[in-house]
Amino acid sequence: MHVTLEQNKMEKSKITFGIILLCALLIQDVQSIGVNYGTLGNDLPPPAQVAQFLKDRTIIDRVKIFDANQDIIRAFANTGIFLTITVPNGEIPALTDIGYAAGWINNNVKSFYPATKINYICVGNEVLHWGPQNLIDNLVLAMRSLNQALISSGITDVKVVSPQSLAILQPIPNDAPPSFARFRDGWDKSILGPMLQFHRETNSPFMVNPYPYFGYSPNKENFAVFKSRNPVVFDQVTKKSYNNMFDLLLDSVHVSMQKLGFADVGIVVGETGWPSMGEPNQPHCSVSNAASYNGGLLRKVVGGQGTPLMPNGKFEIYIFGLFNENIKPGPTAERNFGLFRPDFSQVYQTGIMKGEPLLPAPVGGKRHGKRSPQPRPNPVQPNPIPPVNQGPTWCVPKPEATDAQLQQNLDMVCGSGIDCKPLQPGGACELPNTIRDRASWAMNSFYKSKGFVCDFAGTGLVTTVDPSK
């Protein structure tokens, strides 16, 4: 009898241990919560403190940086946190040379691997959106060269990707469902097809940066920030309903991939987020909306939720961003995407801290298949207009703005949803080809389309004189 009791205890212990292990594996499987760690701030904590904080205090298990900062790479060694590093856009042509690619891998990966769990290398950032054409033409070649350098170094579990903005999609009406989506003509078969073929061959994901924030409209605010309970968009072709814009954007990418024959390639969300502060005429840039949007993302990841067309998809999602960055160029919103302040205090609660509950899902009426816009308790007006009686205005660089500042402005604008194709070779605004002229066009385009905001970290100036004359 004594032996039987001991055996019972042992069996119960095994079962208990098995349940705990299974739960741990399940949590690990669905929790792929990443964050973009930007460094455009002069008050940010040292990388070692950042890495320790994320490991000890948060549920974040992966981080993405916009360069290959070796202090940051070193700081994440032995933390168990996955790290994505980035090759600057300007190095893309050089990477097509296998010798250069091998040197890059040796200096920025092999020296730190495997103590630092590097899982992705981003070849540039939103290259198709920003250009210029020589970077676009060399992009897939550079990805292949870098991947070959990894394999030659004996590293087989680091994947090569290249994050793209949703400017890769052919423009369609805002209310169009995913079944209408397709990749832009000219990029679909010449660039994106070969890129997706590379991803299929290397079993690596296609990385995209969907931002419902850039598709904001006052009558769709709830839809944009995960506040809609009822469906807002119904796709007559697929018979799928959408109650949030994030799912709609991801399924639009999936449909576009499917139309090229690459529905089997996985998708990773490289950037997405919502600012907690903006200009006085941007009330949608608020703590409430930022918490609702990022809280909705966390519910999706932790709950292992897919999308209507990819119901079993468990997506890696990298929230933008980790900190508010006080010297980032552009409007106020660009400096206020952070989950945390530089002192590690939360800007708002989302459930990102260990032991902190997730934000509850919105409650509402019964689901149905037709479009059902949700009322907004505090409606806001559409984009504001310039002051009355002032006449036409333009946003231009201040005379004292440096080329480095203007290049940052140019990069920010072309990465924010503004179509910068007119600046590319053969485009209507290709010439004059100076940083100041190109930045002037970009800043004014942003000014006209994003609510007449012309700050750009103090480098912008509103004028009544047409700069094109």
Residue 414 near residue 129, CB atoms below 8 Å: yes
Reading the block at residue 52, the tokens are: 């320790």
- Count Cβ atoms below 10 Å from residue 243 Cβ, excluding itself: 22
Q: Is 316 a catalytic residue?
A: no
Reported as half-sphere exposure (CB side, CA atoms, 13 A), residue 402 has a value of 5
Q: Residue 23: pLDDT above 70?
A: no
What is the mean predicted confidence (pLDDT) over 361-378? Answer: 41
Residue 57 near residue 342, CB atoms below 8 Å: no
Q: Residue 27: pLDDT above 70?
A: no
Alpha carbon of residue 195 to chain centroid: 19
Q: Give the pLDDT band of residue 16 (cuts 50, 70, 90).
A: very low
Q: Give the pLDDT band of residue 383 (cuts 50, 70, 90).
A: very low
**The one catalytic residue among 271, 316, 325, 334:** 271
**The one catalytic residue among 126, 221, 316, 325:** 126
What is the mean predicted confidence (pLDDT) over 93-106? Answer: 97
Q: Is 271 a catalytic residue?
A: yes
pLDDT tens digit sequence for 104-156: 999 999 999 999 999 999 999 999 998 889 999 999 999 999 999 999 999 99
The Cα–Cα gap between 318 and 337 comes to 13
Q: Is 337 exposed, middle or buried (0-12, 13-18, 19+ CB in 10 A)?
A: buried
In degrees, rounded to 5, the angle at the alpha carbon of residue 301 between the alpha carbons of residues 299 and 303 is: 60
pTM score, whole prediction: 0.74
Reading the block at residue 142, the tokens are: 């550079």
Reading the block at residue 327, the tokens are: 């010297």
pLDDT tens digit sequence for 211-238: 999 988 899 999 999 999 899 999 999 9
pLDDT at 246: 96
